């Protein structure tokens, strides 16, 4: 069985303000094959998201020149819990409307300063006119519509805390955070707010040679004919699923992007990657519609 992709790039994004290298900064892991078709992995570390976007664009341009197809994974939510776009009174397909809303509202400067807390507060104001569902901010960013701590139990109880894909991966030590949490260890809300506009820009640059799963492809097994016209397929990943052990001298995030890239490369090598794009057996039509239109799914969940 032929491989679907020639290279696998995993991006560990960050919402950090200010330039930073090393631990908890932006890492890219690239698994590809040498001239003898042996798999090897490189990792790259950059100090800002703008540098990360530029590096990603140049890596993809290099692969495209060679006629390679690349799987590109980002470690933040591509969608929000069902009903979010409707509460924000956005029109059109929910995921796409949310991406457009974030692209229009998030300001992310080349030095990494950004307005993610203001955007979180605006989302709360528009959704509930209260300090929820988004929560968690440093004290100097707290305001009427955004608090430093989790809102009281029952606040916005009709708004789901998690997406279906997060419920699907939750077991034992694997406890995904809610996209509503903006601040604190492992929080993914800030990364999602600054990350989605970056993915949107990347896909705009790629044009018809880029696609995003499952929104642009459907939630189904993909075969060679599906990926053949593409130079890049963009997916959501969650590196914590792969229990990466850092090698000597390796940072934790560096190990995570390396191990995640290698995982999908090996899955593709064995012919099992195609099925990873499909829904779990017995997924209802309602769930499939929810995932394809609004929430997205973690590849491998």
Torsions phi, psi for 298 (to 5 deg): -85, 125
Q: Are residues 164 and 257 in the same domain?
A: no
Q: Are residues 98 and 176 in the same domain?
A: yes
Q: Largest alpha-carbon pair distance within the chain?
A: 60
Number of domains in the chain: 2
Q: Are residues 88 and 178 in the same domain?
A: yes
Give 48's contacts (C-beta < 8 A, 6+ positions apart): 19, 26, 110, 111, 112
CA distance 229 to 209: 6
Q: What's the pTM value of the predicted model, to 2 decimals? A: 0.96
226: in domain: yes
Q: Are residues 100 and 177 in the same domain?
A: yes
Domain boundary among 123, 155, 189: 189
Whole-number pLDDT of residue 1: 63
Domain boundary among 189, 224, 259: 189
User: How many Cα atoms occupy the beta-carbon half-sphere of 209 within 13 Å?
Assistant: 14
Which range marks the domain in which residue 261 is found? 7-77+210-295
Which among 294, 72, 96 has a CA at the least distance from the CA of 179? Answer: 294
State the SS3 of the chain: CCCCCCEEEEEECCCCCCCCCCCCCEEEEEEEECCCCCEEEEEEEECCHHHHHHHHHHHHHHHHHCCCCEEEEECCCCCCCCCHHHHCCCCCCHHHHHHHHHHHHCCECCCCCECHHHHHHHHHHHHCCCCCCCECCCHHHCECCECCCCCCCCCCCCCCCCCHHHHHHCECCECCCCCCECCCCCCCHHHHHHHHHHHHHHHHHHHHHEEECCCCCCCCCCCHHHHCCCCEEEEECCHHHHCCCCCCCCCHHHHHHHHHHHHHHHHHHCCCHHHHCCCCCCCCHHHHHHHHHHHCCECCC
- All residue ranges of the chain with pLDDT < 70 are 1
Q: Are residues 151 and 92 in the same domain?
A: yes
94: in domain: yes
CA distance 28 to 22: 12
Q: Are residues 57 and 93 in the same domain?
A: no
205: in domain: no
Whole-number pLDDT of residue 157: 86
């Amino acid at each position: 069985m032929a491989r679907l992709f020639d290279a696998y790039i995993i991006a560990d994004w960050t919402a950090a303000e200010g330039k930073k290298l090393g631990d908890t900064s932006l890492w890219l892991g690239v698994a590809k094959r040498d001239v003898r078709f042996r798999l090897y992995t490189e990792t790259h570390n950059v100090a800002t998201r703008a540098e990360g976007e530029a590096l990603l664009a140049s890596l993809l341009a290099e692969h495209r020149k060679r006629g390679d197809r690349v799987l590109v994974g980002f470690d933040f939510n591509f969608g929000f819990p069902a009903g979010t776009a409707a509460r924000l009174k956005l029109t059109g397909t929910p995921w796409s409307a949310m991406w457009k809303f974030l692209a229009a509202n998030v300001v992310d400067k080349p030095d990494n300063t950004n307005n993610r807390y203001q955007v979180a507060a605006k989302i709360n104001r528009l959704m509930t006119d209260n300090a929820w569902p988004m929560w968690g901010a440093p004290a100097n960013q707290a305001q009427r519509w955004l608090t430093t701590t989790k809102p009281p139990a029952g606040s916005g109880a009709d708004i789901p805390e998690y997406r279906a894909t997060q419920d699907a991966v939750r077991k034992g030590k694997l406890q995904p955070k809610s996209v509503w949490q903006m601040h604190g260890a492992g929080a993914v809300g800030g990364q999602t707010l600054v990350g989605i506009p970056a993915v949107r820009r990347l896909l705009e640059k790629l044009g018809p040679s880029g696609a995003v799963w499952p929104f642009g492809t459907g939630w189904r097994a993909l075969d060679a004919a599906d990926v053949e016209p593409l130079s890049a397929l963009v997916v959501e990943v969650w590196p914590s699923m792969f229990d990466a052990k850092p090698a000597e001298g390796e940072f934790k995030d560096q190990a995570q992007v390396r191990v995640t890239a290698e995982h999908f490369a090996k899955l593709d090598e064995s012919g099992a990657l195609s099925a990873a794009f499909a829904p779990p057996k017995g997924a209802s039509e309602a769930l499939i519609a929810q995932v394809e239109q609004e929430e997205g799914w973690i590849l491998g969940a």
